[in-house]
């Protein structure tokens, strides 16, 4: 199915049957043309539990700083969401 066909049908994803540049045979998003599996891999790499896996050569102090920064971002996002829900 082509992207234009998916748009015409109101779908959010489509599959061309061709692999992406990284070799995945996954659906692509209509809005961004991105491969769904590539996106999942990026999200897994960005997970707070994978800093050591993705960047094994980073010093422990820097990994701790990255974790603290990520936690601060999550808290800020949670505070914004709570404020929006409060009214």
| Per-residue pLDDT reduced to its tens digit, 44-57 | 766 666 666 666 77
Strands, DSSP E only, in the chain?
Answer: 13-14, 28-29
Cα 1 to its chain centre, rounded Å, is 24
pLDDT for the residue numbered 13: 94
Q: How many CA atoms lie within 13 A of 16 on its CB side?
A: 16
| Per-residue pLDDT reduced to its tens digit, 12-47 | 999 999 999 989 999 999 999 999 998 888 777 666
User: For the whole model, what pTM was predicted?
Assistant: 0.52
């Amino acid at each position: 199915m082509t992207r234009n066909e998916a748009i015409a049908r109101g779908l959010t994803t489509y599959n061309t049957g061709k692999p992406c540049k990284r070799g995945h045979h996954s659906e692509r998003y209509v809005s961004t043309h991105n491969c769904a599996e590539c996106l999942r891999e990026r999200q897994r790499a960005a997970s707070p539990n994978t800093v050591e896996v993705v960047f094994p050569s980073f010093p422990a102090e820097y990994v701790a700083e990255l974790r603290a920064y990520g936690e601060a971002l999550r808290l800020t996002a949670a505070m914004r969401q709570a404020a929006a829900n409060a009214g």
